[in-house]
Amino acid sequence: MPNTEVKTIGVLTSGGDSPGMNAAIRAVVRRAIYNGMSVKGIKKGYQGLLNEEIEDMNRRSVSEIIGLGGTILGTARCMEFKTEEGIKKAAEICRKHGIDGVVVIGGDGSYRGAQKLSHEGINTVGLPGTIDLDIACTDYTIGFDTAINTAMSAIDKVRDTSSSHERCSIIEVMGRNAGYIALWCGVANGAEDILLPEKYDYNEQAIINHIIENRKVGKKHHIIINAEGIGHSTSMARRIEAATGMETRATILGYMQRGGSPTCKDRYYASIMGAMAADLLAQGKSNRVIGQKNGQFTDFDIDEALAMQKSIPEYEYEISKIL
């Protein structure tokens, strides 16, 4: 049974960081205080909870952070929390510090942790914090907008030099299991080929043929956006150069996509969602996650949210191939 009277909440960020997490922390803290609750910041995700890295927060603790990238609380991946003993120990530590509810800002993995913590009697609410956009219950995840804009600007720059040298460029963007960053940047940067982990058939010959056809009609460059989940951009570049005779370079954008000051959209969505998380805890709700579906901010049961599936929209994928 969830605690019906939540007086003190904790907030933590977990898994890969994403721009906008600070805006979410700020909103959680300020809305919770407005709702009459006390707030404790838990450092370094579930690892910090197990290490009791916990400190009181007030309205001033979150001043001047809305525009900062990263997370002021730090984040971590924590193997111990995946064990039954780890979860029980974490719940005990929450009780010791008077924490009745926890807001977890992270991805699917972090939600699984929050789900288990709620079974141990600590109320939990998850917020979607990941640049990958790969959380099924929501059309939006905190950090995606900043990441795609950072990647788009970088790809524009690579395109300039690629064009000057009449080269082929393979640009690898983040997304271990999800191709949303690749899809959006591929379309927004006018890439010739877009390789998504969910769709790629490993038919390199088709890419080679595409390059040869484009050269025949006078194209000066060939941009391939490759998702991290497919990877191997450098060896792919070598093979493509050998097969087409076109100089080919690989650029791996990497962690730059996870950093930087969040866009207006990330700050706004994170602020509304953060406030909603504090409201749900104030209402005695538990095992919930916040999402945005069909333009509405809403919340779901974590069990249901984790059972949902998400896939690359077929129409958008088809369009990405022909533009």
Contacts of 69 (CB under 8 A, 6+ apart): 19, 22, 146, 259, 260, 261, 262
Closest CA to 90 of 129, 112, 115, 122: 122
Catalytic residues: 132
According to DSSP, residue 129 is labeled B
Q: Smaller CB distance to ligand ADP: residue 83 or 235?
A: 83
What is the strand order of the sheet 168-173 is part of?
193-195, 222-227, 168-173, 248-252
| Residue 60 burial (CB count, 10 A) | 8
Pick the binder of ligand F6P from 176, 220, 293, 321 (CB under 6 A): 176
CA angle 31, 268, 36 (to 5 degrees): 0
Q: Smaller CB distance to ligand ADP: residue 37 or 135?
A: 135
Report yes or no: 310 and 136 within 8 Å, Cβ to Cβ. Answer: yes
Q: Smaller CB distance to ligand ADP: residue 57 or 289?
A: 289
Question: Scanning residues 88 to 127, which ones bind ligand F6P (CB under 6 A)?
Answer: 107
CB of 306 to ligand ADP, least distance (A): 10
Segments of 59-215 assigned E as strands: 101-106, 123-128, 168-173, 193-195
Question: Scanning residues 28 to 87, which ones bind ligand ADP (CB under 6 A)?
Answer: 46, 77-78, 81-82
Site size for ligand ADP (CB under 6 A): 17
Contacted entry of ligand F6P, ligand ADP, none for residue 175, CB cut-off 5 to 8 Å set by kind = ligand F6P
Give residue 218's identity as a one-letter amino acid code.
G
CA angle 144, 148, 154 (to 5 degrees): 150
Closest CA to 273 of 296, 241, 243: 296
Pick the binder of ligand ADP from 112, 215, 219, 249 (CB under 6 A): 112
Longest dimension (CA), the chain: 71
132 forms part of the interface with ligand F6P (CB under 6 A): yes
CB of 230 to ligand ADP, least distance (A): 20
Distance between CA atoms of 163 and 136, rounded to whole angstroms?
38
Closest CA to 175 of 107, 250, 227: 227
Pick the binder of ligand ADP from 106, 143, 197, 229 (CB under 6 A): 106
Map residues 118-157 to x or -, x wherever contact with ligand ADP holds by CB under 6 A.
------------x---------------------------
Q: Smaller CB distance to ligand ADP: residue 167 or 258?
A: 258
Contacted entry of ligand ADP, ligand F6P, none for residue 110, CB cut-off 5 to 8 Å set by kind = ligand ADP
Contacted entry of ligand F6P, ligand ADP, none for residue 46, CB cut-off 5 to 8 Å set by kind = ligand ADP
Contacted entry of ligand F6P, ligand ADP, none for residue 200, CB cut-off 5 to 8 Å set by kind = none
Q: Smaller CB distance to ligand ADP: residue 275 or 289?
A: 289
Pick the binder of ligand F6P from 100, 145, 193, 228 (CB under 6 A): 228
Q: Is 157 helix (H, G, I), strand (E, B) or coil?
A: helix
Contact positions toward ligand ADP, by CB under 6 A?
14-16, 46, 77-78, 81-82, 106-110, 112-113, 116, 130
Contact positions toward ligand F6P, by CB under 6 A?
16, 107, 130-132, 174-176, 228, 258
